[in-house]
Chains A and B, each alone.
Chain A
Amino acid sequence: MSPPPPPPPSPAASRPVPTTAAGALDEMTEVIAGARGALLASVDGFALAQSETMPNEAAHAAMLAASIGLAHQLVMMGGGEQLRQLVVDHDNGLLLLWPIGDTRVLAMLTDSNVDQARLRRFVRSRAALLADAS
């Protein structure tokens, strides 16, 4: 089994590695240009952690859970087996959702021109920390 990919280089390299989910979400929004906010929720709709920049709205976690729940069904409609990402592309940017393990959902609010590949690499590098959040 290959080790997880290292986090992206600077400016993250100069930061201490976060030890909490909230710290990791703050790190993402600070390091990735165009990332505005992040929310980690359980798949059954409870907020677990969020970046300081994320609007605090109780219904958001439930909405993420419902969206991911439906997206899993849409994967099957498409003949797939595994949901990788859900993208909501709107007039004010993007809402990107990723399943984190089997029990967590990560959402990020971003600008439309965010570097999605870099964002995904960053999320992957913090996935273990996020998956263990409670």
Chain B
Amino acid sequence: MSAIDASFESDVDVQPRTVGTEPSARRPLVEPSVDDHVEPTGSTTHTDDSAVDTDDAAPEAAALDTHTFKILVTGPFAAGKTSLIQSVSQTDVVSTDVVTSGDEADVKAHTTVAMDFGTYELEDDGVNLLLFGTPGQPRFRFMTNILKGDVDIVAFVIDADARHTHAAAGVELRSLLSDLRVPAVIAVNRCDDQDVADRMARSLGALDGEAVVPCQLVDPDSGRNVIVEVLLTLLDSMESGGHDG
């Protein structure tokens, strides 16, 4: 379990970018109780309180909104997807790592064969992030196809040093985004330079509007920076109406 007690509040002020202009929309959101029905995917979950008069309850209902976002963490083999999820998840990561064999064993000792799953919650803002990590090898592409349903944003991780993976990664990135039509954040792992990361991401076909984050995903702080960018991108998307959350 990640022992990280991460809070974005000291790192970034997301509150001014919270969706909506109504005062109720900017109020802190209440985290759901165990009795609340929380959709596993989708953008916004409304807690149901049918006993409340709906005429008077609109502002209160908005205050009870819990925003649950599904994030697809994907990218090539050994790019750092599992590291990202492990570094930021506040709950035990569901991991399907197994020992590698063949040529892949020369790259790393373990690999994800089905999925990684982690969570991140901003309690005061009622924002829940569900992080679904995919395997990176093409033979597991069916898992990406399963996991990509109803995602709100893609965090696409590449390894700056593994340039031989970039061409295929670029094809995969554009294919995925043209299919999903959701925003993306490009996390360029093993990179500290924003300009280098930008150039690398653009060479993959990342669009000008897509955020690029240089990162070192062995460092939990760096992983959190990626998640911050994911949050900001989501909020931007919601404000611009590109997202139904």
Contact of A45 among B95, B97, B137 (CB under 8 A): B137
Q: Which of A12-20, A29-37, A65-73, A116-124 contacts B (4 or more CB under 8 A)?
A: A65-73
Q: Which of A3-11, A55-63, A85-93 has 4 or more CB atoms under 8 Å from chain B? A: A55-63
Write out the residue numbers on chain B whose beta carbons fall within 8 Å of the beta carbon of A68.
Answer: 113
**Which residues on the A side are within 8 Å of B97 (C-beta)?**
69
Known: A66-B114, A66-B140. A102 touches B99 (CB 8 A): yes
CA distance A61 to B113 in the complex (A): 11
User: Pick the contact of B96 from A61, A63, A69 — CB < 8 Å?
Assistant: A69
Across the interface, name the chain A residue whose C-beta is closest to B112: A69
CB neighbours (8 Å) of A67 from chain B are 114
- Taking a contact as CB atoms under 8 Å apart, the answer to whether A62 and B142 are in contact is yes
User: Is A42 in contact with chain B by the CB < 8 A criterion?
Assistant: yes
Which residue of chain A has its CB nearest to the CB of B104? A44
Dominant secondary structure at the A interface = helix
Bound CA span A58–B138, Å: 11
Distance between Cα atoms of A72 and B113 in the complex (Å): 12
Contact between chains at B139 and A43 (CB < 8 Å): no
Number of interface residues of A (CB under 8 A): 20
Report the minimal beta-carbon distance from B108 to chain A, rounded to whole angstroms. Answer: 11
- Given contacts A65-B113, A66-B113, A67-B114, are A103 and B99 in contact (CB under 8 A)? yes
- Contact yes or no, A46 B115, CB < 8 A: no
Taking the complex as formed, is B111 at the interface, i.e. its CB lies under 8 A from any CB of chain A? yes
Q: Is the CB of A73 within 8 A of B96?
A: yes
A46 to B139, CA, bound (A): 9
Residues of B within 8 A of A66 (CB): 96, 113-115, 135, 140, 142-143
Q: What is the CB-to-nearest-CB distance from A55 to chain B, in angstroms, rounded to a whole number?
A: 16
Report if B94 contacts A (CB, 8 A).
yes
A44 with B111: CB separation less than 8 A: yes
B100 CB–A CB distance under 8 Å? yes
Q: How far is the CB of A63 from chain B (nearest CB, A)?
A: 7
- Contact between chains at B140 and A62 (CB < 8 Å): yes
A46, B102: Cβ atoms closer than 8 Å: yes
Q: Within 8 Å CB of B94, what residues of A?
A: 73
Contact A65 B142 (CB under 8 A): no
B32 CB to nearest chain A CB (Å): 21
Contact of B114 with A59 in the complex, beta carbons under 8 Å: no
| Cβ distance B28 to chain A, nearest Cβ, rounded Å | 33
Q: B98 an interface residue at 8 Å Cβ cutoff? A: yes
Quick one: which of A42, A69, A73 contacts B101, CB cutoff 8 A?
A: A42
Let me know if A65 and B98 touch, CB within 8 A: yes
The minimal Cβ–Cβ distance linking A134 to chain B, given in whole angstroms, is 8
Cβ-neighbour of B113 out of A44, A59, A103 (below 8 A): A44
B interface residues (Cβ-Cβ under 8 A, vs A):
94-102, 104, 111-115, 135, 137, 139-140, 142-143
Sorted from nearest, which 3 A-B pairs have the closest CB atoms? Answer: A69-B96, A66-B114, A62-B139
Q: List 27 A-B residue pairs with CB atoms under 8 Å apart, sorted by A's residue number.
A: A42-B101, A43-B98, A43-B99, A44-B98, A44-B99, A44-B104, A45-B113, A45-B137, A45-B139, A45-B140, A46-B102, A61-B139, A62-B137, A62-B142, A65-B98, A65-B140, A66-B113, A66-B115, A66-B142, A66-B143, A67-B114, A69-B96, A69-B114, A70-B96, A70-B115, A73-B95, A103-B98
